[in-house]
Structures are given as structure tokens and as C-alpha cells.
């Protein structure tokens, strides 16, 4: 049986796509949905002047808007209908996930199975709508005063009518993206929301690459720096691919059970603990919290008198918290490490895992069931989380340092690489699963035909 599985796995190549009709349809549906997403990113919000907005946006680069703009594929910079992207849904899902681990009522819903998960998903959607409405309103208000100091007006006709229209369009755009993501998940290939985020990031790669090579052509960037940067990106991709699949597997043993031959045999399995249990959440949270005061100060600086003392404080804050500055990178690293441990503690409960093992009769060899098992799980998890936190810090801080030292004119952080590599690996795994299922289906059909002929 093992040799047959190995033969099937070795035949998973591009030639099998011609036979896997359902997989081809899923891939074409996914590509079509992502094309729709990219088309919507160029549809401007009603009442906004895109030319003036682009000029004003260049004056506030370096804040949290750059992060959201990268994840939305440039939609925020163009202030399109989907300017908020799926970030409100991501934020709401993280909040609900944390609340379900801390609040008893939500924790009980989480344990109810499919019905409980459906209820939590409904709460997440409600939270996404509320966040969209709040962010959309403040975004509309900010657009009305955006560029007042420079004498430019991004909004054609400011007022409450514009704010209402903007909120309705932004909420509708985000909800449409969520629906599109669900359609990709059910009728396409891969996770829909993750693919939409990855498509937005990948859409910025040509701009990043053109800025890099244009700097090399004009002499602004030395060829050795370009080669070093490309080597760093390739090395980080390989490191991410390795670390995201790295696990600490704990041996779990179950009591001896009687087999069909009357012999007693002990069952064994493994409890996999990921080195990076928190995923991409720590960099997103750390960068969002760190860049939030910078963005607020940038917007506030446009409406404050340049001769006042408050304006001097704002300029100092912008200077010390700018990308590549020592204070920014130190706070960024501290935030990533903190959220690594915090989010891991939220999503993985050693006591609950130990109780489930005890109920099923499983135990770790040499460790007593119950509290001793929970303490051992926490001991192991803490140590592998240290490795995961160091890995995430290295991946996220190294590109920031490289860009700051070399002056490379692009915004490509480790968070973007983490998301792209994770989603790509997950999508490839699902494609291989579909091909493997197709191969097994062909074998089953051949076996049935042979059985009928006999």
C-alpha cells in the first residue's frame, strides 16, 4: 500500500492537470475572482478627486496607511470602493478569537462544534460591519480635511452627504470582498480571504521591482546592494518556508487494546506543536499599534500651526518613529515578541489539551496525566515560542534595517513575505490534495471495473 501511495505521489505533476477537470475549473474560478478584486481596486470612491488624492498621499507615507495600502493592493492610495480591504474582518476575527478564549460564554460556543463556530462567524461578520462603518466614517472625515494646509482639496463636495455615501460604499466593498472570499473557498482553491490579501500584496511587487531596478539604472542604488537585497529576500523565503512547517512532535501513547489476533497492542500518535503558533498575527498587531500614533501625528501636523510648540513635538515624534529608526525597530521587535507569547497563550490552552488527553486515555510517556501533563506542555510551548519569536523578529526587522541603511525606495516588509509564502504553501498543498484525490478516484474506478469483469 505504501509503494502504491509513493507511486501516486510521484505522478503529481503538471501533466495531471489535463485530466483533473474539477481542479482546472476551481483554479479558473479563483483566477476570475481575483481579477474582479483587482478591477474593483481601480474604481474610485464617489466624490473623491484621485489626482489630488495621489499627490496628498505621497506626503503622508510611512504611517499605518502604507501597511493597509499594501494589504489592499493599492486600493487605499487610490481610495477605491474596496479601500478598507478585508482588514476590518481580519481584526474582528482576531478579537472574536481572543474573546472566545477569555470569555466563558464565547468559550462555551466554541466547544459546541459546527453550530458554535457558525455563531462565532456571525459575530465576526457583525464586528466587521461595525468596524467598517467606524473606519469608513473617520476616513471620510479625514479626507475632507486632508491637504487643508497645502491648499488642496481631495473631496469635491465635503459634507454629511459625502460621509454617508462613503460609509455605505466602503462597507459594501468590504462585505463584497468577504462574499468573494467565501466563494473562492467553496468553489475555488485555497482560502479565499487569504488569497485576496496575498493578491493585494503581490500586485505591489512589480512597483517594488521597478523602483529597485530603476534605482540601479540611474545609479542611485549600487548593483551590489541590489544583489544583496535579492539574496536576502530569497533567504527569508527559504527560512519562512522551513520555519512555518517546523513542528515539535510530542509522543502520545494510549492504553493497550486487543487486536483481531487476540494480541495486546498499544496505540501511538503524536501531538504536533508548531514552532510559530501565532502565525502572522504578531507582526500585524505590532506594526499597527506602532504606526497608529505616527499616522495620527502626520494628519494632525497638517492642521497645526508650524510655529507652535505642539508642531515641534509632532515633528520629533515623526522623526523618531520613522521607518528604520532605532527606536522604531526596537519597539517593533518588542511588540512582535510580546504578541507572540500573548497570542500563543490565547489560542493554545495546555490545561484543556491535557484534560482531553486524559479523557481519551492518552498520556505522554514519563509524564503523569492531568496537571503534570499541562505543566509539561506549557514548558515545551514556552521554549519553542522563544524560537518562533526570534524567527519572526528576524524576518520582520531585517528588511526594515536593510531598507533604512540602503535607502531602497520600496515598502516590502517581512509581514508581506510571511503572508505570501504561507498562502502560497497552503494553496499548493490543496492543489496536491485535489490531484491525489483524483489519482485515487481513478484507481478506485479501475478496481471496480476489474471486479465487475471477474
Q: How confident is the model at residue 451 (pLDDT cuts 50, 70, 90)?
A: low
pLDDT of 258: 57
Q: How confident is the model at residue 3 (pLDDT cuts 50, 70, 90)?
A: very low
Q: Which run of H or E residues covers position 224?
A: helix 223-243
What's the CA angle centered on 203, arms 197 and 209, to 5 degrees? 130
Q: How confident is the model at residue 7 (pLDDT cuts 50, 70, 90)?
A: very low
CA dist 365 and 250 (Å) reads: 9
Task: Answer yes or no: is pLDDT of 311 > 80.
Answer: no
In the chain, the domains with their CATH numbers are: 13-204 (1.10.3370.10), 207-410 (1.10.3370.10)
CA dist 142 and 257 (Å) reads: 68
CA dist 420 and 243 (Å) reads: 14
Tell me the mean pLDDT in the region 238-243: 89
Residue 434, C-alpha cell as written in the block: 485535489
CA dist 410 and 69 (Å) reads: 13
Task: Answer yes or no: is pLDDT of 318 > 50.
Answer: yes
Q: What Rg value do the Cα atoms of the chain yield, rounded?
A: 26
Which residues lie across from 270 on neighbouring strands?
Answer: 251
Q: Are 416 and 283 in contact (CB under 8 A)?
A: no
Beta strands at 264-274 and 247-258: parallel, antiparallel or unpaired: antiparallel
pLDDT of 315: 64
Tell me the mean pLDDT in the region 285-294: 72
The 8 Å CB, 24+ separation contacts for 400-405 are 400/323, 400/324, 400/328, 400/329, 400/332, 401/324, 401/329, 402/228, 402/229, 402/232, 403/323, 403/324, 404/323, 404/324, 404/325, 404/329, 405/324
CA dist 254 and 215 (Å) reads: 62
pLDDT tens digit string along 175-205?
Answer: 999 999 999 988 888 888 888 888 888 887 8
Q: How confident is the model at residue 389 (pLDDT cuts 50, 70, 90)?
A: very high
The alpha carbon of residue 115 and the mean position of all alpha carbons in its chain are separated, in whole angstroms, by 26
Residue 148, C-alpha cell as written in the block: 487643508
Task: Answer yes or no: is pLDDT of 172 > 70.
Answer: yes
Residue 343, C-alpha cell as written in the block: 497570542
Helical axes 326-347 vs 281-301, angle rounded to 10°: 140
pLDDT tens digit string along 323-334?
Answer: 667 888 888 899
Q: Are 396 and 415 in contact (CB under 8 A)?
A: yes
Residue 428, C-alpha cell as written in the block: 499548493
Phi, psi for 20 (deg, rounded to 5): -85, 85
E strand map for 180-263: 247-258
Higher pLDDT, 207 or 365: 365
Task: Answer yes or no: is pLDDT of 233 > 80.
Answer: yes
3-class DSSP state of 201: helix
pLDDT of 384: 93
Higher pLDDT, 242 or 91: 242
pLDDT tens digit string along 89-100?
Answer: 888 888 887 788
Task: Answer yes or no: is pLDDT of 335 > 60.
Answer: yes
- With 0-12 / 13-18 / 19 or more C-beta atoms within 10 angstroms meaning exposed / middle / buried, residue 388 is buried
Whether the pTM exceeds 0.85: the reply is: no
Residues written for the chain: 454
Task: Answer yes or no: is pLDDT of 4 > 70.
Answer: no
CA dist 37 and 19 (Å) reads: 29
Q: How confident is the model at residue 118 (pLDDT cuts 50, 70, 90)?
A: confident
- Start-to-end Cα distance in the chain: 22
pLDDT of 55: 67
Q: Are 324 and 403 in contact (CB under 8 A)?
A: yes
How high does pLDDT run on average in the chain?
A: 78
Amino acid at each position: 500500500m505504501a509503494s502504491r501511495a509513493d507511486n501516486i505521489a510521484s505522478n503529481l505533476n503538471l501533466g495531471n492537470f489535463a485530466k483533473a477537470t474539477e481542479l482546472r475549473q476551481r483554479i479558473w474560478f479563483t483566477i476570475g475572482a481575483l481579477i474582479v478584486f483587482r478591477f474593483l481596486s481601480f474604481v474610485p470612491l464617489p466624490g473623491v478627486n484621485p489626482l489630488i488624492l495621489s499627490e496628498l498621499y505621497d506626503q503622508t507615507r510611512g504611517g499605518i496607511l502604507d501597511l493597509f495600502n499594501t494589504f489592499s493592493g493599492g486600493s487605499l492610495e487610490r481610495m477605491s470602493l474596496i479601500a478598507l480591504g478585508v482588514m476590518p474582518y481580519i481584526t474582528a476575527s482576531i478579537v472574536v478569537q481572543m474573546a472566545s478564549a477569555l470569555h466563558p460564554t464565547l468559550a462555551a460556543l466554541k466547544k459546541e462544534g459546527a453550530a458554535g463556530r457558525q455563531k462565532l462567524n456571525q459575530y465576526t461578520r457583525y464586528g466587521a460591519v461595525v468596524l467598517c462603518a467606524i473606519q469608513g466614517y473617520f476616513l471620510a472625515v479625514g479626507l475632507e480635511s486632508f491637504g487643508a494646509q497645502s491648499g488642496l482639496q481631495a473631496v469635491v463636495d465635503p459634507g454629511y452627504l459625502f460621509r454617508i455615501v462613503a460609509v455605505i460604499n466602503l462597507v459594501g466593498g468590504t462585505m463584497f470582498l468577504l462574499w468573494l472570499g467565501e466563494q473562492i473557498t467553496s468553489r475555488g482553491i485555497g482560502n479565499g480571504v487569504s488569497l485576496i490579501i496575498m493578491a493585494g500584496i503581490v500586485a505591489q511587487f512589480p512597483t517594488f521591482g521597478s523602483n529597485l531596478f530603476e534605482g540601479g539604472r540611474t545609479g542611485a542604488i549600487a548593483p551590489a546592494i541590489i544583489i544583496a537585497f535579492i539574496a536576502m529576500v530569497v533567504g527569508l523565503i527559504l527560512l519562512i518556508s522551513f520555519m512555518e512547517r517546523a513542528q515539535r512532535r510530542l509522543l502520545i501513547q494510549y492504553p493497550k487494546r486487543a487486536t483481531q489476533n487476540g494480541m495486546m497492542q498499544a496505540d501511538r500518535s503524536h501531538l504536533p506543536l508548531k514552532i510559530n503558533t501565532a502565525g502572522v498575527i504578531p507582526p500585524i498587531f505590532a506594526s499597527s499599534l506602532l504606526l497608529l500614533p505616527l499616522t495620527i501625528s502626520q494628519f494632525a501636523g497638517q492642521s497645526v500651526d508650524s510655529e507652535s510648540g505642539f508642531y515641534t513635538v509632532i515633528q520629533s515624534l515623526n522623526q523618531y518613529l520613522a521607518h528604520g529608526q532605532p527606536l522604531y525597530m526596537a519597539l517593533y521587535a518588542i511588540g512582535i515578541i510580546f504578541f507572540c507569547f500573548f497570542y500563543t497563550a490565547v489560542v493554545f490552552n495546555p490545561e484543556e489539551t491535557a484534560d482531553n488527553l486524559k479523557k481519551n486515555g492518552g498520556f505522554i510517556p514519563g509524564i503523569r496525566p492531568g496537571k503534570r501533563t499541562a505543566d509539561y506542555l506549557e514548558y515545551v510551548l514556552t521554549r519553542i515560542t522563544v524560537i518562533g519569536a526570534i524567527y519572526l523578529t528576524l524576518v520582520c526587522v531585517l528588511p526594515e534595517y536593510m531598507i533604512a541603511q540602503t535607502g531602497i525606495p520600496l515598502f516590502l516588509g517581512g509581514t508581506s513575505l510571511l503572508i505570501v509564502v504561507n498562502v502560497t504553501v497552503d494553496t499548493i498543498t490543496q492543489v496536491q490534495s485535489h490531484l491525489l484525490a483524483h489519482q485515487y478516484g481513478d484507481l478506485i474506478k479501475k478496481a471496480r471495473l476489474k471486479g465487475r469483469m471477474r
